[in-house]
A and B are shown apart, each in its own frame.
Chain A
Amino acid sequence: MAAIIWDRENECLTESKRKELQLEKLKLLVTKLYEKVPHYRKSFDAAGVKPGDLNRLEDLAKFPFTTKEDLAANYPFGMLAEPMEKIVRVHASSGTTGKPKVAGYTKNDIKMWAEVMARTFTCAGLTSSDIIQNAYGYGLFTGGLGAHYGGERLGATVIPISGGNTKRQLLIMQDFGSTALCATPSYALLLFEKAAEAGVDIDKLKVHTGIFGAEMWSEAMRREIEKKTGINAIDIYGLTEIIGPGVASECLEKKYLHVFDDHFLPEIIDPETLEPVATGEEGELVFTTLDKEGFPLLRYRTRDITSLHPGECACGRTSVRMERVKGRSDDMLIIRGVNVYPSQVESLLVAIDDVEPHYQIVVDRQKSMDTLEIWVEVSEKIFSDEIKGLETLERKIKSELDSALLISTKIKLVEPKTIKRSEGKAVRIVDKRNI
């Protein structure tokens, strides 16, 4: 049976038609970037390229990359290509320093985002008759509102429950008869475990599909979720810088994720040499937003490791497909859907009086939820002979980190030299999760 496709015209383009469309959009993009964003004028000039140098898709490789450091240097609105009166919304996610990465959207961007999320839901097999329980967090995080607008565009019923409050999630899921769940996969697993504990008959729940993203997960975890719940667990991909969720989605084949490449042009590069890799080979995913207005990005290095697979899918879509994200080419952690950079933890710690940057980040998955523990070595400067003093210190570090990282941390004070140094360099991250 042929799958239902939301935007058959754009999702099933012939190869030549797609390339033609991409090239046309790309030419406009480089011209706009050069004219409107000082950062790009500088980086194009430094690389010795002009917008007119882009005549074939392959010419894109001559143009400079954009990195998260570029975003930090132009914080908050320096990368926007439209004046603020055209920007109708901003979202943000954690950056490498204490400052977040900021994305600005025009009205058209919001519309396009709803379109690509409607494609995502359709890829997952949802239709206007579905009731979507949207447990992605609403707020600066793109997950909540991104899925929300996409669900409405699809014509489905959206329950904007946001993240957390497991008891209420279960109540609503049973009483409202939710048929689809949007959440991080780890939260979904927790939710169903709690349901089982509370004596809820999982088979009686109407949920048939999970739209899971915002964190790395494995095929083994999918099998576990599907076995426990009988639902279809679909992997989706996105990042704030590119648009949020809605960059790519698995179809019901559940093999690869369809990249919506009429809007987001992917490349795979070798993160060391920065050269393109051969088709199908693994490397770092790089995106160019082809028609985003507010916050367009050229060759943005996502740091996600994956591979690209062209060709028509059994579902009928012809867009290029990417493999499930396998890892990172930097040290960013994703904890319960939230990005955390070790460098960010470090800059927050040293900003606290007398705390030295002797720390270690320990990530674990307990009862299917990720936990973030930060070990801080107690130096003489911060040591107090009173327990009260040590507890106050712990609380202070926790409140500083929690409010900046937007995630609950556990602080553990440890003795000096507890943190293993390998070849003189401290090991900053211990990730005990088996993803």
Chain B
Amino acid sequence: MVKQISVFIENKSGRMAEATRAISDAGVNIRALAVADTSELGVLRLICDDMDKALGALKDAGFTATANNVIAAQVPDRPGGLADLLEKLRDNGINVEYLYAYFTKTTDNAVVIIRVDDKEKTAETLEGGGIRLLSPEEVYSV
């Protein structure tokens, strides 16, 4: 299963910089990143080329950080690529908690990271619908 790191960030200046610096100081490269926030706090979600090292570096720097499972799906980089995927989930009654996407350097596809409750059903639905899911190695090394 593909993992992502989630970091608790208070809404105060410099914290995002400190979190990303902690990761870079560990020699880890960030592949994808998304931030969710309210007026007072935020959650930074990350995918890196070395997840264990990144998680350790964040914790050492005093951040509350956890690793959790997500689904990484490959979608074609064209209009409707993402909509097709989301419709399949909707038609199967799967609720998306959040998602974010990024491009890869080497292919014409985008990668969508999806956080859902029922990962198995989501995986079956997407694969059954002809959408390729990426392995952890593929995601971390894009």
Contacts and interface: CB of A to CB of B under 8 A. Distances in A.
Nearest to B36: A387
Given A386-B97, A386-B98, A379 B115 contact: no
B10 A415 contact: yes
A385 B38 contact: no
B41 A390 contact: yes
Interface in B106-126: 115
Contacts of B63: 415-416
Interface in B68-125: 68, 97-98, 115
Given A415-B8, A415-B15, A418-B10, A385 B68 contact: yes
A433 B6 CA distance: 37
B13 to A, nearest CB: 13
A391 interface: yes
A385 B65 CA distance: 9
B97 A413 contact: no
B142 to A, nearest CB: 21
A383 B62 contact: no
A379 B10 CA distance: 13
Interface in A236-274: none
Given A385-B45, A385-B115, A412-B40, A379 B64 contact: yes
Interface in A402-432: 412-418
B43 A378 contact: no
Contacts of B9: 415
Interface string B35-62: 0111011010100000000000000001
Contact of A387 (B38, B65, B66, B68): B38
Contact of B62 (A380, A385, A387, A416): A416
A252 to B, nearest CB: 48
Nearest to A414: B10
Which of B4, B9, B15, B43 has its CB near the most chain A CB atoms (within 10 A)?
A: B43
A384 B6 CA distance: 8
A388 B36 CA distance: 10
B64 A386 contact: no
Contacts of B38: 387, 390-391
Nearest to B38: A387
A378 B8 contact: yes
B57 to A, nearest CB: 15
Nearest to A391: B38
A415 B65 CA distance: 10
Contacts of B65: 380
Contact of A380 (B15, B40, B45, B64): B64
B8 A417 contact: no
Contacts of A387: 36-38, 43
A379 B63 CA distance: 9
A388 B97 CA distance: 9
A212 B64 CA distance: 46
A418 B41 CA distance: 13
Interface string A361-379: 0000000000000000011
A415 B98 CA distance: 23
A278 B10 CA distance: 52
Nearest to B62: A417
Contacts of B15: 415
Contact of B64 (A388, A391, A412, A416): A416
A384 B36 CA distance: 12
A388 B38 CA distance: 10
Please name the 10 residue pairs, one residue from A and one from B, whose CB atoms are nearest each other, closest first: A385-B6, A378-B8, A383-B64, A387-B36, A378-B64, A415-B10, A383-B8, A417-B62, A380-B66, A386-B97
5 contacts: A383-B6, A383-B66, A385-B43, A391-B38, A414-B10
